[in-house]
């Protein structure tokens, strides 16, 4: 019985690493730009397709495709935010929200046109391999994915806390007007945050693509998961995002294939009712803490 409980806990923690990276970009966008990017799910699917295409074209392990897909999605996220979303934000959050919805629809239809409606999956030679530790079977793929997720989160935390650019982004999140008065280019910082969020979506797309099958229309599913992670972990809360992913993964494994997702969403409703400020308010945040008006 004890071994079974340990196996469930390990599987839930490893699965939670994938969920954490799914929610990281959404947490960053909401915490800094103060905008719900409805295209975030499509960014994740785009990242999955990018890794699949690069794996096929270059004949390399899909993990190595991140060296190409991450810069590409960063550039795309930056340009879309700088050229479209920032301009729409001047007319209010509603206009910007509609722009992100339009981007979502365009990306979804473009992926459907290019790749068709067939299910896809990133296959690797070690996808079904496991290692035995103290009598517990641990999937090798899950270990790799939680390492990728943890490394991405640690890198992003270091960037936001220790670099001048990261501090500038946090200053914009803290107080947009005060940051602008000090000479910080607010539009550029918003675009950088959106680019970083898109880059994390590339990592999330690889992780999800190696773990599950997906379709061009799967973006909405991953967008919803990202929302759940953000609500549980808190806006811009890097440690909370990782912890929320672990909690969500544990709930999924305990609930099983039939009821895991249902129990997860019931848990979300309970959190929103009892503790709407998130479960992890004291963990270090990517952002400075105070909000600002995204439409300024």
pLDDT at 282: 44
The domain that contains 112 carries what CATH number? Answer: 1.10.3470
- Nearest by Cα to 179 from 190, 165, 168, 187: 168
Give domain status of residue 56, yes or no: yes
Give domain status of residue 290, yes or no: no
Residue 147 has pLDDT above 70, yes or no: yes
| Residues 62, 63, 69: CA angle, nearest 5 degrees | 80
Could you tell me the pLDDT band of residue 284, with boundaries at 50, 70 and 90?
Answer: very low
pLDDT in tens, 171-224: 998 889 999 999 999 999 999 999 999 999 999 999 999 999 999 999 999 999
- Nearest by Cα to 171 from 292, 35, 296: 292
- Domain span holding position 240: 2-274
pLDDT in tens, 73-122: 999 999 999 999 999 999 988 999 999 999 999 999 999 999 999 999 99
The C-alpha atoms of residue 76 and residue 183 are separated, in whole angstroms, by: 25
Number of domains in the chain: 1
pLDDT at 290: 43
Give domain status of residue 279, yes or no: no
Give domain status of residue 54, yes or no: yes
Could you tell me the pLDDT band of residue 289, with boundaries at 50, 70 and 90?
Answer: very low
Residue 225 has pLDDT above 70, yes or no: yes
Q: Which of 16-25, 124-133, 193-202 has the least mean pLDDT?
A: 124-133
pLDDT at 292: 41
Could you tell me the pLDDT band of residue 294, with boundaries at 50, 70 and 90?
Answer: very low
Q: Which of 43-52, 57-66, 197-206, 259-268 has the least mean pLDDT?
A: 259-268
Question: Facing residues of 120 across strands?
Answer: 214
Do the Cβ atoms of 288 and 174 come closer than 8 Å? yes
Q: Is 36 left (phi over 0), alpha (psi -120 to 50) or beta?
A: beta
Give domain status of residue 288, yes or no: no
Give domain status of residue 69, yes or no: yes
What's the whole-model pTM score? Answer: 0.90
């Amino acid at each position: 019985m004890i071994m079974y409980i340990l196996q469930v806990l390990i599987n839930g923690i490893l699965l939670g690493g994938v969920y954490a990276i799914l929610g990281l970009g959404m947490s960053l966008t909401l915490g800094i730009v103060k905008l719900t990017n409805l295209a975030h799910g499509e960014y994740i699917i785009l990242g999955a397709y990018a890794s699949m295409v690069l794996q096929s074209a270059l004949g390399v392990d899909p993990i190595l495709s991140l060296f190409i897909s991450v810069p590409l999605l960063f550039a795309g996220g930056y340009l879309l935010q700088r050229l479209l979303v920032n301009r729409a934000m001047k007319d209010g959050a509603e206009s910007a929200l509609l722009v992100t919805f339009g981007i979502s629809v365009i990306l979804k239809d473009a992926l459907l046109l290019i790749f068709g409606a067939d299910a896809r999956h990133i296959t690797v030679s070690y996808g079904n391999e496991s290692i035995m530790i103290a009598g517990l079977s641990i999937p090798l793929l899950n270990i790799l994915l939680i390492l990728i997720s943890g490394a991405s989160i640690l890198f992003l935390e270091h960037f936001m806390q220790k670099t001048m650019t990261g501090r500038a982004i946090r200053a914009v999140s803290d107080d947009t007007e005060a940051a602008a008065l000090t000479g910080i280019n607010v539009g550029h910082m918003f675009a950088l945050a959106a680019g970083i969020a898109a880059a994390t979506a590339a990592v999330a797309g690889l992780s999800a693509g190696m773990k599950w099958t997906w379709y061009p229309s799967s973006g909405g599913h991953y967008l919803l998961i990202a929302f759940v992670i953000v609500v549980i972990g808190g806006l811009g809360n890097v440690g909370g995002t990782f912890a929320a992913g672990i909690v969500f993964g544990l709930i999924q494994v305990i609930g099983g294939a039939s009821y895991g997702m249902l129990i997860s969403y019931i848990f979300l409703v309970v959190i929103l009712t009892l503790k709407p400020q998130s479960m992890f308010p004291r963990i270090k945040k990517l952002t400075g803490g105070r909000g600002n008006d995204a439409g300024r």
